[in-house]
Amino acid sequence: MNRNKPLSPYNSFMKFNLPLIKQNNPNLKHNEAFKVVALMWKDSPDNPKNFSSL
């Protein structure tokens, strides 16, 4: 992987939020935590698809 390439907004969101979800829910399996964060991404203001065109 090219180290100079910035993370995509999705990957950046996952990198930040996945550890938080796992920390707050230690009994949650990794794939379950991943699904939770993916659902959070769907409605997140960080998701470029959530911007309405003006």
Total number of domains in the chain: 1
Task: Identify the pLDDT of residue 26.
Answer: 96
In a domain? residue 2: no
Number of H helices, E strands in the chain: 2, 0
Write the DSSP symbol of residue 14.
H
In a domain? residue 32: yes
Nearest alpha carbon to residue 17 among 42, 45, 38:
38
In a domain? residue 31: yes
Task: Identify the pLDDT of residue 4.
Answer: 83
Question: What range defines the domain where residue 20 resides?
Answer: 10-39
* Model confidence pLDDT, tens digit, residues 1-54: 567 889 999 999 999 999 999 999 999 999 999 999 999 999 999 999 988 655
In a domain? residue 48: no
Task: Identify the pLDDT of residue 53.
Answer: 54
- pTM of the entire predicted model: 0.81
